[in-house]
Amino acid sequence: MIKSKYNWKCLQSERQKAEQLASDMNISVVFAELLLRRGLVDPESADKFIRGSLGELHDPFLLSGMQEAVPRILRAIESKEHILIYGDYDADGVSSTSLMIRLMRHLGASFDYYIPHRSKEGYGLHIHAVDEAKRNGVSLIITVDTGISAVNQIEHANALGMDVIVTDHHEPPAQLPEAYALINPKLPTCPYPFKGLAGVGVAYKLASALIRQVPEDWLQLVALGTIADLMPLVDENRVLVSRGLQSMTEQPIIGAAALLRVAGGKESSVNSTTVGFSMAPRINASGRLSHAKRAVSLLTTEDHDEAEEIATELDLLNRERQQMVENMVQEAVRRLDDDIQNGKKIPDVIVIAGEGWNVGVVGIVASKILERYYRPTIILGIHPETGECKGSARSIPGFDLYEALTECADLLDHYGGHTAAAGMSLHKDSLKAFDQRLNEYAAGILNEEHFIPVITADLECTLDEISIPLIRELEIMAPFGMDNPSPRMVIRGAALVESRKMGRESNHLKLSLRQNGAVIEAIAFGKGHLADFLTESARIDLVVEAGVNEWNGSVKPQLMIQDLAVSHLQVFDFRSSPSPLGIIDEFAKKLERLKSGQSAGSAALCRQASADRYRSNLEDSILWVYDKDAGLIQPHGYSDNNKEAASITSLFMLELPETTEQLDSVFASFPQLERVILVHGHQDKYERIEIPTRDSFKQVYAMIRAFASAAMTEEQLLNRLARQTGMSNRMLRLTLEVFEDLQFLSRDNGKIVLNPNPFKQPLDSSLRYRTIGSMAEMEHMLLHGKSAQVAEWIIARNAAGVS
């Protein structure tokens, strides 16, 4: 058994509506059902979604403040005023700044730009930067992707005689700055119909209002910033990003082309994944570890050599960033796990601060900690000299970070952001109170259900339904991203053909799956360790996204696994291993790699006579023994066997049980059992049981009658019978018990006494006779059965025992 990481939610099928839409649009029913999932219920809305054009974009003058901003900027350009573009250091801010630079060049403006240093200055408009702008002769400041919270800074600019036009997309605070113009679709009074623009999207709208025909290649910047900032890829964002990706594919700007080359991307197939996972991290690395100006230079240069130099520099910074993140994540996990081991529970909101931690990567670390523990997470870097803490937060559905930080506003020097992501600064002396206040606030909002991650799938299907034509239809729904995810499908009960680890560090998983005659390969990134927990008889449930694998002229479907589960007991066959204890030790270490909740406890089973031999090599907590009366017990250390047994999920069978009743009792006692690991060896020949037959019993009985005249002890009789029949001593003892059960003989002081006038009874009227048959079947299966047969037998036996 392998538990899923997420709770799976599959949207309700609308087959009848899908069939009608499919007929109206001449598309497959599966594709039609996916369109319905996006709220596209008629051919008109679906066609608009699929074929959206720039002509359908909203009028930029619907944005509040645009009517005031445009004439002010045109007047500044005409009057040769010096303009300052003030941006942010993340990928959206860099894209916004780069687009405005291209706009200013296009308009022939006198301008400069400024982006604060992430770790030295932090987010937002700064008074010292305003003062510097004044000294440089700036009379108009245009902010991009920032400024909506800069009340004091803009008041200061006004006092110095400078106008400020704010273009932003972040949540507006209760008090708005007194800017010359505020352009933000999220302003309560703004009538703009789409609220999901990125900062670069708002900048593009300003450019559209100023010059009407915006150059097509500027949309590459819009696509980059919108995808990187995780904005919803619906409405006009879908159009802007789609056209931007197309432009980047056909004729990328010089900086984008250089970035794609160092990232290993194929310029012929640039998509949202390429941007989100290859390009954006390198752009962000500039602001995180150096200065975002380098990324701006890359996206605005017309010099190929300069572009190659900067792209290489950003690639190296990104690698440095990755190592830095890994070190910080390990330290944060260590602290949390130490607290858990000391009896503390995982807090509702995780707040971890580290002295000297690079504030440029705290957001990435927060994302990774959230993924591991599924709690709203805030990671902060503490300045070792000033004690100032700068942090970044990531949240889960149901917990609004901006509202939560607002509840702590009196403890913070600065904060801002969205529902799901935010940034803040405060002094380290306020950290304890900040942590406490956040968790008190969370206690009134969050419950246990919030801490269980959910993955939503569009539909349930089988492998044979996933074809190349269907996948080509799905590609029409791209670009994929926030609010328009790649279609996900649930597949249940696929048979495992092959599993193996892949990648340089064997950290990825590759499966070959079969269902209804179709065989498809599937990839799961970061799940290579699960290969150790998949048996050849596994039936796998999956949540997948479908794609195409093209290699050497071959085109076939390929699945990207988002989550997987094996819902049945699994049996691992290590029978007759020369080192069963080594198998237990190795497998136990692998069990530790499973995520929390995947593995609770382990037990190793042996017979009572062998307990002392194994105890010297196994902890008492793991060693259990078969018991004639109780089924199984722990020989030492625990008084409540039932409670301990209820926590066992992994069972190592060092030795076979003596009876089938013992085996059934084991399964009944371990109700949470997920896997059985067979490590028992061959059975001693003196212990072997045969499936009883009437002839073999008749033969033994005849011999006993022949030997009865001689004065023999039971042991002597057994030894003579063993020589004559070739049966094991154990089998012969059981045979004597059957005869005794049928009253054919009795025992008296170690001797066998025959009943001279036994009552004739059929053998199968003896309970012991029937027991021998089931014992022989069990031992033959567990000792000699093929792995698949043994697994099927144990799974069936366990199901019967648990029920």
Q: What is the pLDDT of residues 202-248, one digit of tens each?
A: 999 999 999 989 999 999 999 999 999 999 999 999 999 999 999 99
| Cβ neighbours, 10 Å, residue 191 | 9
> 3-class SS at 122?
coil
Q: What DSSP string describes 559-574?
A: EEEEEEEB-S-EEEE-
Distance CA(188)–CA(211), nearest Å, equals 27
Identify which of 762, 756, 724, 754 has the alpha carbon closest to the alpha carbon of residue 736. Answer: 754
Confidence band of 597 (pLDDT split at 50, 70, 90): very low
Mean pLDDT, to the nearest integer, of 290-318?
A: 96
Cα distance between residue 470 and residue 487, in whole Å? 11
Q: Could you give all domains of the chain from N- to C-terminal order, each with its CATH number?
A: 56-316 (3.90.1640.30), 345-449 (3.10.310.30), 455-565 (2.40.50.460), 570-681+784-802 (3.40.50), 686-765 (1.10.10)
The pLDDT tens digits of the residues spanning 659-703 come to 888 888 888 888 889 999 999 987 666 677 887 788 889 889 889
At 641 the pLDDT is 61
* Alpha-carbon span 422 to 412, nearest angstrom: 13
**Mean local confidence (pLDDT), 766-770:** 85
Backbone angles phi, psi at 214, to 5 degrees: -80, 130
Q: Is the pLDDT of residue 635 over 70?
A: no
389: region left, alpha or beta (phi > 0 left; psi from -120 to 50 alpha): beta
Residue with tokens 């000699």: 784
What pLDDT, on a 0 to 100 scale, did the predictor assign at position 803?
54
- Over residues 394-420, the pLDDT tens digits come to 999 999 999 999 999 999 998 988 888
DSSP string, 163-202: EEEEE--SPP-SSPP--SEEE-TTSTT---S-----HHHH
- Quick one: average pLDDT of 449-474? 92
Average pLDDT over the chain, rounded to an integer: 91
Predicted structure pTM score: 0.79
In the chain, what are the helix, strand and coil shares in percent, each to the nearest 5?
Answer: 45, 20, 35
15-35: pLDDT as tens digits: 899 999 999 999 989 899 999
- Which 8-state DSSP code applies to residue 484? B
Higher per-residue pLDDT: 790 or 123 = 790
The residues, ordered by sequence, that sit 6+ positions from 531 with a Cβ below 8 Å of its Cβ are 499, 500, 501, 509
Q: Is residue 794 over pLDDT 70?
A: yes
In the predicted model, what is the mean pLDDT of residues 524-530? 92
**716-733 pLDDT, tens per residue?**
888 888 888 888 888 898
Q: What percentage of the chain has pLDDT greater than the value 90?
A: 63
pLDDT tens across 136-181, in order? Answer: 999 999 999 999 999 999 999 999 999 999 999 999 999 999 999 9
**pLDDT, position 501:** 94
Return d(Cα 466, Cα 80) in angstroms, integer.
61
At 32-58, the pLDDT tens digits run: 999 998 889 999 999 988 888 888 899
**pLDDT tier, 596 (very low <50, low <70, confident <90, very high otherwise):** very low
